């Protein structure tokens, strides 16, 4: 029993000794670690160099970009007016040829029309001759009426004498009655002469109508003869020409189209929100300025115009509106109906807003601003317009500096070294880590990388940031490596 107690006591003493030695070693290691930490110099906080600008209140005239097609509101169908053979065709009667007003294009055989005109002219001459005859008949009838009136006056005087002689006893009642009968007969004859004059005059009126009808027939025949020659009614370009010499055409058969180059307009579609920007307080379309641009390789043809009207109906499946813009063009314009153009519309002004680079904000309008002690903080703005590489924002702290390009390694709370904040006009340069290796790219290599980034499917904001980095004289090697890796995977 005593042996057991002594063994247990020895074990306790050994354990206590080991614990004391271990505790001493622990304290010694802690002292040494603390001494090394105190001797080591303190690390400095990393500061990123960023390009900044100052929010300045501005009045901006935004631009809406749309895409549409050139149309012509004055297109004439050239059709044959009569039946016949084509006997003459102008050398310019070809697709795309330019013609001037009054120029002969096609002539149809005029023989039938000429015969009809001669027949109509003969009918007119006959009607005029009959009218002249009726006018002479009126003169004769009026002369006979005058003679009958003079005879009647003489008979009236003779009747009065017989009556006076009868009252004196020198004449008989039989003689008076004979004079009365003669007077009544002359009176009947006078009425007949008067009726003849009236009939002759009415005949003249009828002949006037006959002459007018004959003149109408002549004019119609002249019109038909004139229409056998198809001339250009205005300056324009020919299209869909379908005519050949000796071919027989039927009335109203289409021979081609004549397009007026001065009557061009652009038809394009606007979304509902875009369309609402061009309405006044009453809901009427405002006459906003429009520029239609046609891309021809390295050359861009721009034509000015003004908003004209809105389409009468909304097309099936369309959510916005189809709008027409009247264009100001010359006769020698290169625009043609069917051209696909880019349309830029100037919107009404926006006041008390700021215009910032597109790389400065996220899709939902969050931006980084420089606060006290040059530390970044985040503000949420309202994006009013997106215009290519710039944004128009409101609800911003005017007078505060903001970061022009929001790179992935920047965030709220980081300390930065602002550059360009006084003028706010410095170009957006990407921030770089001072520890990164910067290299200079050959022009061919730089163009190759830029082309790959432009054709890639990455988000637009990231694409814009990478393109801005590639435009620098010195480019971080890590950026080049990431692009090359992506090219390798896509290849």
Domains of the chain, start order: 81-110+229-258 (2.40.50.100), 112-226 (1.10.287.620), 259-346 (2.40.30.170), 350-419 (2.40.420), 438-490 (1.10.8)
In angstroms, rounded to a whole number, what is the distance separating the alpha carbons of residues 438 and 18? 58
Of 470, 75, 444, nearest in space to 259 by CA: 75
What per-residue confidence (pLDDT) applies to 33? 65
**Residue 350: its H or E element:** strand 350-357
Of 74, 70, 68, 69, nearest in space to 237 by CA: 74
DSSP letter for 424, please.
S
Contact, 379 vs 348, CB < 8 A? Answer: no
In Å, how far are 84, 245, 246, 446 from 109, measured between CA atoms? 6, 11, 9, 70
What per-residue confidence (pLDDT) applies to 437? 65
What per-residue confidence (pLDDT) applies to 436? 54
- Write down the residue that tokens 């009918």 correspond to: 123
What per-residue confidence (pLDDT) applies to 423? 37
Q: Each residue's pLDDT tens digit in the chain (491 positions)? A: 566 677 777 777 787 787 777 777 777 776 666 655 454 545 566 778 889 999 989 888 888 999 999 999 999 989 888 888 998 998 889 998 889 998 999 999 988 888 889 999 898 888 888 888 877 777 777 777 777 777 777 777 776 777 777 677 666 776 767 776 777 777 777 777 777 778 778 888 888 888 899 899 999 999 888 888 899 999 889 998 988 888 888 888 889 999 988 889 999 999 998 999 999 889 899 999 999 999 998 899 999 999 999 998 887 777 788 999 999 988 778 899 999 999 999 988 898 999 999 999 998 899 999 988 888 999 999 999 888 788 999 999 998 999 999 888 888 888 888 887 543 333 333 444 444 567 777 778 888 888 888 887 776 667 777 887 887 777 787 778 778 877 776 65
What per-residue confidence (pLDDT) applies to 20? 74
In angstroms, rounded to a whole number, what is the distance separating the alpha carbons of residues 366 and 358? 12
What per-residue confidence (pLDDT) applies to 443? 77
In angstroms, rounded to a whole number, what is the distance separating the alpha carbons of residues 419 and 50? 6
Ranges of beta strands (E only) in 221-346 are 229-231, 236-239, 248-249, 254-259, 264-270, 289-296, 299-310, 321-327, 340-346
Helix/strand/coil percent split, the chain, to 5: 40, 30, 30
What per-residue confidence (pLDDT) applies to 306? 93
What per-residue confidence (pLDDT) applies to 430? 40
Global pTM reads: 0.56
DSSP letter for 42, please.
P
- Provide the token pair at 40: 């080591």
Q: Computed over its alpha carbons, how large is the radius of gyration of the chain?
A: 53
What are the residues facing 307 on neighbouring strands?
325
What per-residue confidence (pLDDT) applies to 278? 92
Size (the chain), residues: 491
What are the residues facing 323 on neighbouring strands?
268, 310
- Provide the token pair at 451: 């082309």
Helix 443-455 / helix 477-490 crossing angle, nearest 10 deg: 60
Give, in degrees to the nearest 5, the angle at Cα 337 between 347 and 339.
Answer: 65
At 247 the three-state DSSP class reads: coil
Tell me phi and psi for residue 266, to 5 degrees.
-105, 130
């Amino acid at each position: 029993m005593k042996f057991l107690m002594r063994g247990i006591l020895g074990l306790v003493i050994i354990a206590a000794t080991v614990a004391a030695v271990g505790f001493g070693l622990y304290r010694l290691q802690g002292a040494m670690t603390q001494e090394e930490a105190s001797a080591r110099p303190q690390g400095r906080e990393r500061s990123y160099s960023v390009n900044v600008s100052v929010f300045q209140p501005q009045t901006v005239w935004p631009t809406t970009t749309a895409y549409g097609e050139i149309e012509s509101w004055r297109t004439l169908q050239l059709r044959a007016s009569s039946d016949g053979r084509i006997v003459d065709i102008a050398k310019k009667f070809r697709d795309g040829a330019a013609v001037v007003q009054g120029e002969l294009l096609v002539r149809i055989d005029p023989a039938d029309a000429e015969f009809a005109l001669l027949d109509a002219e003969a009918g007119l001459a006959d009607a005029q001759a009959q009218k002249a005859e009726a006018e002479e008949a009126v003169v004769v009838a009026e002369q006979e009426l005058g003679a009958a009136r003079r005879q009647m006056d003489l008979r009236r005087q003779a009747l009065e004498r017989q009556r006076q002689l009868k009252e004196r006893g020198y004449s008989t009642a039989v003689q008076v009655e004979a004079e009365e009968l003669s007077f009544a007969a002359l009176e009947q004859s006078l009425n007949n002469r008067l009726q003849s004059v009236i009939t002759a005059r009415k005949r003249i009126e009828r002949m006037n109508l006959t002459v007018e009808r004959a003149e109408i027939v002549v004019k119609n025949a002249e019109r038909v003869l004139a229409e056998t020659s198809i001339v250009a009614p205005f300056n324009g370009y020919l299209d869909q020409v379908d005519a050949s010499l000796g071919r027989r055409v039927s009335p109203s058969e289409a021979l081609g189209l004549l397009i007026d180059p001065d009557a061009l307009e652009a038809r394009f579609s606007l979304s509902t929100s875009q369309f609402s920007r061009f309405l006044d307080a009453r809901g009427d379309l405002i006459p906003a300025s429009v520029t239609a641009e046609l891309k021809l390789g390295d050359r861009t043809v721009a034509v000015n115009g003004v908003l004209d009207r809105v389409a009468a109906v909304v097309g099936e499946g369309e959510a916005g509106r189809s709008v027409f813009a009247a264009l100001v063009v010359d006769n020698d314009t290169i625009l043609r109906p069917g051209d696909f153009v880019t349309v830029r519309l100037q919107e009404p002004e926006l006041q008390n807003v700021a215009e910032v680079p597109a790389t400065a904000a996220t899709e939902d309008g969050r931006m980084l601003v420089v606060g006290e002690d040059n530390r970044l903080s985040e503000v949420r703005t309202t994006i009013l317009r997106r215009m290519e590489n710039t944004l128009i924002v409101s609800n911003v702290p005017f007078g505060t500096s903001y970061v022009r390009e929001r790179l992935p390694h920047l965030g709220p709370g980081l300390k930065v070294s602002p550059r360009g904040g006084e003028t706010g006009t410095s170009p957006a340069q990407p921030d770089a880590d001072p520890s990164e290796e910067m290299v200079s790219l050959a022009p061919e290599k730089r163009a190759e990388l830029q082309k790959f980034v432009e054709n890639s499917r990455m988000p637009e904001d990231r694409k814009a940031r990478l393109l801005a980095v590639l435009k620098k004289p010195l480019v971080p090697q890590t950026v080049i490596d990431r692009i090359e890796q992506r090219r390798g995977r896509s290849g």
